[in-house]
Chain A
């Protein structure tokens, strides 16, 4: 559990995040946690709550707000994912999510860099893990100077695992290779955005117009820790429905069920070009406050 001093630091972090977005003309929103229908995602298991589900992310509601005319929104909220407990996972955790209309995923990478740079610039009260321009966490010393690296998924698999990313997909070993051979190297010396994921791994991300095999999705890694996930949003309702159908097939094969989020699909054409990103606040807190594990960075580790 966080000590009063730790709570003060976490509060400073949350206030710093808010001031960053408010200065940039974002609106803070708070959408419902309990929803009758979720976005179908094969690898996320939701908690039921009476006739509803607890949100696994605020994506569905936030995109519907964009459809109603909002252009820049952010939210700090709790998300719930069943059966996720580990060094970097808790089944209830705090997420920061933000959307910017008119942007693509590269624009958002840049803003994500600026957000984290703003937070690390406040070494006295927000980012006590900073030594000069370096973030020190466990055995890592990561230079946070901008700009950060950009690396495609295909190049990272080739460089760190010596394998072709398409082969790992065919063999069903993508996740294992990523976790064991690739992730430990990511963001060790400086943070890196891993981008251009195979389309099957970006169910809500737009297909790249120049490279239709990949989705315009990225993940930010700092010191081997996956910190944020963003994309150029897929806003074509027909393609989104097809992708959801693929997810629902997998969910049913697991013995679960999922409904189609029809209102979400109906709103989708109203979005236009949009980019969105989710960042794990507890993981950020762990890194910036130099906590070895996630649990001392969250308010209660057990109830």
Chain B
């Protein structure tokens, strides 16, 4: 059990049987008045946000959340299948659940899958992934037009800005938190 005084940004609590993560939090207490815990939360399954003010005597269940190492196997009919690297158990998440993660997800990638009870609800990608550039304008050596970057497309279909020397067929490292180019990699 959590009480209102445990509330802070990032805390995960259970309300009406569903897991929520606290995204914003403010403690206030007017002189001689009651403590107010103003809280903004996101439903970890539906993504729906809501705000609520709690008082000292409010209590919350601790959601049963667990992260497991899993490998991405394949996608079929908008279902993305993953396998537990220890137990070989297979599960899937929907395209909607994966959202922006799809910009960086490729076959055989190892990710953290978040379970609420038995139910997979989210994944965490590695912070850095290496992807192949599939579309890029050629670099005209000695180009002095002054352009510092150019757009390319990687194998997942994700587009980003990279330095002009990156060419089609190169592999590049990308920060999955920001979608930014880090470096060209040699493999």
By a beta-carbon cutoff of 8 Å, the part of chain A in contact with chain B is 41, 43, 83-89, 174-176, 178-180, 183, 197, 201-203, 219, 226, 229, 254
By a beta-carbon cutoff of 8 Å, the part of chain B in contact with chain A is 5, 26-36, 38, 53, 56-57
In the assembly, what is the distance between CA of A41 and CA of B31, in Å? 11
- Decide: A43 and B27 in contact? CB cutoff 8 A: no
- Decide: A183 and B30 in contact? CB cutoff 8 A: yes
In the assembly, what is the distance between CA of A254 and CA of B35, in Å? 13
Inter-chain contact count A-B, CB under 8 Å? 51
The verdict on A89 contacting B29 (CB below 8 Å), with A83-B5, A176-B53 known, is yes
Distance in angstroms from A181 CB to nearest chain B CB is 12
Return chain A residues, CB-CB under 8 Å to B57.
Answer: 254
Q: Is the interface of B mostly helix, strand, loop or mixed?
A: loop
- Decide: A84 and B27 in contact? CB cutoff 8 A: yes
Q: Which residue of B lies closest to A43 (CB)?
A: B34
Return chain A residues, CB-CB under 8 Å to B26.
Answer: 86-87
The verdict on A202 contacting B29 (CB below 8 Å), with A83-B56, A254-B57 known, is no
Return chain B residues, CB-CB under 8 Å to A85.
Answer: 27
Distance in angstroms from A231 CB to nearest chain B CB is 10
- Decide: A229 and B35 in contact? CB cutoff 8 A: no
Distance in angstroms from B129 CB to nearest chain A CB is 36
Return chain A residues, CB-CB under 8 Å to B53.
Answer: 176
- Decide: B35 and A88 in contact? CB cutoff 8 A: no
- Decide: A43 and B36 in contact? CB cutoff 8 A: no
In the assembly, what is the distance between CA of A89 and CA of B25, in Å? 14
The verdict on A41 contacting B32 (CB below 8 Å), with A83-B5, A83-B56, A176-B53 known, is yes
In the assembly, what is the distance between CA of A202 and CA of B32, in Å? 8
The verdict on A179 contacting B31 (CB below 8 Å), with A83-B56, A254-B57 known, is no
In the assembly, what is the distance between CA of A174 and CA of B32, in Å? 12
- Decide: B28 and A84 in contact? CB cutoff 8 A: no
Return chain A residues, CB-CB under 8 Å to B35.
Answer: 43, 83-84
Q: Which residue of A lies closest to B57 (CB)?
A: A254
In the assembly, what is the distance between CA of A178 and CA of B32, in Å? 12
Return chain B residues, CB-CB under 8 Å to A178.
Answer: 30, 33
In the assembly, what is the distance between CA of A43 and CA of B56, in Å? 10
Distance in angstroms from A243 CB to nearest chain B CB is 12
In the assembly, what is the distance between CA of A254 and CA of B57, in Å? 8
Return chain B residues, CB-CB under 8 Å to A86.
Answer: 26-29
The verdict on A179 contacting B27 (CB below 8 Å), with A83-B5, A83-B35, A254-B57 known, is no
- Decide: B28 and A88 in contact? CB cutoff 8 A: yes
In the assembly, what is the distance between CA of A180 and CA of B52, in Å? 12
- Decide: A87 and B30 in contact? CB cutoff 8 A: no
Best-surrounded residue of B32, B34, B56 (most CB of chain A within 10 A): B32
In the assembly, what is the distance between CA of A174 and CA of B34, in Å? 10
